Amino acid sequence: MVSCLFTPINIGRLTVRNRFVRSATHDYLADDRTGVVTPAQLELYGRLADGQIGLIITGHAYVHLSGKASPRQIAADDDQKIPGLRKLAATVHQTGSGSLIFLQISHAGRQTKPGLCGRQPVAPSAVLDPKSGVLPRELSPDEIDELIAWFIKAALRAREADFDGVQLHAGHGYLLSSFISPHTNRRLDSWGGNWENRSRIIREIIRGIARACGPDFPVIIKMNATDHLAGGITLEEATNIARSLEEVGLAAIEISGGMNEAGLGSVWPGLRPEEEEGYFVPLAAAIKKALRIPVMGLGGIRTFRSAEKMVSGGQVDLISMSRPFINQPDLVRGFQAGKIEKSPCLSCNKCFYPRGIRCVQKSVSRQSV
Ligand SMILES: Cc1cc2nc3c(=O)[nH]c(=O)nc-3n(C[C@H](O)[C@H](O)[C@H](O)COP(=O)(O)O)c2cc1C
Ligand code: SF4
């Protein structure tokens, strides 16, 4: 019998060939000065597509230089980036594996440094990040309008470059995440206060992308359902926000959590027992009850059997992974051939390697598939 993980699912008007998603993963491989796609990235994405992952989400691409989060980060901030992005999408599509590719679009907000983004970081409110020491500048209402336009233009560039869709990064304390979090959004105007106001910016972006890119270009989101901080976003608020985004056309949602200043981010170190894989899946399952759109489960999922249970049990619709695909881009093919039961990734986090992500664990064996 075919596993539920190898059955198709629709996201908007697109069909994803299986239930595996490569969660957005910054690769430190773009040109550092410009954010232009490099040959090393084409090679990486070619390998991921050869591995038959249903949906590949790129690392976060900054929509404006003020939102650059990391060295060697990919960019979608002007039209000069379109030819490189087009090569990236074509590399995935030309493998013939049927993999789809979405561009994750992002602004770092207060989680960057002047040395990276060339100015004082910006945020909904001037709330000090005690971990980095960054005190951001509060955005004016005109600047919020400008930000919305940057996201819409970045999505338009992705569409022009033949990406299949975009994912908004509203997790991990970056700008959109800091808007929906009551900890970082203390505004008293129509962009702050209750959950409706705090999430207004995201609804404006989704509506704007739909107007600019049309109904065949799905917008999905990666969103925090917890910041791991007292005074941060609650599950109830995240559920209400998710429902409001679905109403304006969101096509799918990936549930994540964490914020830099919380100490506990989204990339938890260490292996857990099989029954505890999917550390954000309970939050995703709770939110799924209020939605009709597909929900992606995430966080330390390593075993085929536990992934299958999450989908067959109706907790989530898709299985999202990042580090296992750094370790082994053809993991899905190995699962399907029955040659691999569990990713050998140790969750040691040593792949945050500033000269280009890679699995540095020489002891981790990769079975050939
Ligand atoms: C090297 C590295 C880079 C990452 N970059 C991004 C990113 O650009 N955008 C994002 O939303 N999450 C990013 N993440 C988080 C992952 O997408 C994922 O949410 C997290 O690692 C948990 O999944 P996993 O246990 O399967 O690795 C990154 C993770 C790693 C290890
Ligand atoms: S370095 Fe290798 S084993 Fe360690 S988390 Fe990264 S991919 Fe997994």
The ranges assigned to domains in the chain are: 4-336
- Taking only the tens place, the pLDDT of each residue in 134-167 is 999 999 999 999 999 999 999 999 999 999 999 9
Predicted local distance difference test score (pLDDT) of residue 362: 65
When pLDDT is cut at 50, 70 and 90, the band that residue 203 belongs to is: very high
CATH number listed for the domain at residues 4-336: 3.20.20.70
Q: Is the CB of 281 under 6 A from ligand 1?
A: no
pLDDT at 368 over 80: no
Q: Is the CB of 288 under 6 A from ligand 1?
A: no
Q: What is the mean pLDDT of residues 342-357?
A: 92
> What is the overall mean pLDDT for the chain?
96
**Cα-atom radius of gyration of the chain, to the nearest Å?**
19
Residue nearest to ligand 2 atom 4, measured at CA: 348
Between the alpha carbon of residue 216 and those of residues 22, 129, 165, 289, the distances in Å are: 21, 39, 9, 26
- What's the pTM value of the predicted model, to 2 decimals? 0.98
Distance 203 CA to ligand 1 centre (A): 24
What are the tokens at 167?
């994912």
The minimum-distance atom of ligand 1 relative to the CA of 352 is 1
Q: Is the CB of 99 under 6 A from ligand 1?
A: no
Q: What is the mean pLDDT of residues 113-117?
A: 95
Q: What is the mean pLDDT of residues 105-134?
A: 97
Q: What is the DSSP string of 84-109?
A: HHHHHHHHHHHT-S--EEEEEEE--T
What are the tokens at 234?
């609650």
Among 28, 267, 327, 343, say which to mutate for ligand 2: greatest number of ligand atoms within 8 Å of CB: 327
Q: List, chain by chain if needed, residues with CB within 6 Å of any ligand 2 atom.
A: 323, 326-327, 345-351, 359-361, 364
The minimum-distance atom of ligand 1 relative to the CA of 58 is 8
174 is catalytic: yes
Distance 142 CA to ligand 1 centre (A): 32
Predicted local distance difference test score (pLDDT) of residue 365: 56
Measure the CA–CA gap between 357 and 143, rounded to whole angstroms: 34
The minimum-distance atom of ligand 1 relative to the CA of 353 is 1
Residue nearest to ligand 2 atom 2, measured at CA: 359
Distance 86 CA to ligand 1 centre (A): 23
Catalytic residue (one of 28, 45, 174, 279):
174
Distance 91 CA to ligand 2 centre (A): 25
When pLDDT is cut at 50, 70 and 90, the band that residue 354 belongs to is: confident
Beta bridge partner(s), residue 219? 166
What are the tokens at 37?
């796609």
Q: What is the mean pLDDT of residues 78-97?
A: 98
Per the CB < 8 A criterion, the answer to whether 321 and 21 are in contact is: yes
